[in-house]
Structure 1
Amino acid sequence: MTRNIKQWQRNIEGLRANAQKKAAATEQRAEAAIALLLKEQRPINFKTVAETAGISTAWLYEHEAIKERIIHLRAQQTPKARIKIPPREQASAASKDAMIVALRQRIQKLEKENRDLKRQVEVANGLLYQQGGKLQQ
């Protein structure tokens, strides 16, 4: 008995069509998110576009056209103004130098005090050891 086995061909056109439809919908969501952010004058970057559109940042980075658009729009945004300290309130070079000297002297004083304390601990440990006691650390 020979069995006639029929080979089935896979029909993946429906899968392809659905994938293309899904990709187009995702691209439209990304474009709509960019338009909304522009309208609301919110910062445009990969994170805000992804959150607004409900898509991943990886998807945005993979699609070159949208990636370039986000980079371009991000570069156009004006940086927030920095607070400028008036010159009369800025520290002068002489006062900065004086502060550096004072801090260096303080460091030297603390290092000397630290060395002296370490020596005292060594002496105390030596005395305890001679008396047969336990060492302190």
Structure 2
Amino acid sequence: MTRSWERNIDGLRAYAQEKAVETARRAEETIAHLLKEQHAVNFKTVTETAGISTAWLYGNEALKQRIMHPCLQQVPAVQIKIPRREQASSASKDTMIAALRQRIKKLKEENRALKQMVEVANGLLYQREGKLRESTS
């Protein structure tokens, strides 16, 4: 004679549901925190920060889309840090600026002189054409 026992798994189901809600809350908080701190939002950073599994994130479609959406908009910022010893000092920058301003001034004067030379050359050509027309008429 075998008896069939009906298992009571209601408590187990309730615990699993509570655990899923808590995990989703942690994931949401982690995503919000990462966005606020301007860190990369991807599956790796969310799983490591929230302490949840990657498989669980991929299984939760809403969170999966929430993580993938910011990934499409994020452009990795290139941050080049120049060592202190290679950075220019203020005095060095001031010297470079003064040298560049002096060079600009010199080039403007040269440009002005060249424009005057072109005007003189054009005037001479105009006079020459006028004399040529008079001699041929």
Normalized against structure 1, the TM-score is what?
0.53
Match among 31, 37, 57 for residue 60 of structure 1: 57
Partner in structure 2 of residue 13 of structure 1? 10
Amino acid at match of 1:51: E
Please give the alpha-carbon distance, in whole angstroms, between the structure 1 residues aligned to 2:55 and 2:3: 43
Alignment-derived partner of residue 91 in structure 1: none
In the alignment, the residues of structure 1 paired with residue 41 and residue 8 of structure 2 have an alpha-carbon distance, to the nearest angstrom, of 42
Which structure 2 residues correspond to residues 8-87 of structure 1 after superposition, within 5 A? 8-81=5-78
Structure 2: give runs of 5+ residues left out of the alignment. Answer: 81-137
Using the TM superposition, give the Cα deviation of residue 81 of structure 1 relative to its aligned residue in structure 2, in angstroms: 4.2
Root mean square deviation, CA, Å: 1.9
One-letter amino acid of the structure 2 residue matched with residue 54 of structure 1: G
Residues 47-95 of structure 1, C-alpha deviations (whole Å, 9 max, x = no match):
0011110011111111111111111011111233499xxxxxxxxxxxx
Structure 1 runs not aligned, ≥5 long: 84-137
Distance 1:81 1:70 in 2: 22
> Which one has a bigger Cα radius of gyration?
2
Q: 2-side partners of 1:62 and 1:8: how far apart?
A: 33
Calculate the TM-score normalised by the size of structure 2: 0.53
- Per-residue deviation, 1:8: 3.0
Alignment size in residue pairs: 80
More helix by share: 2
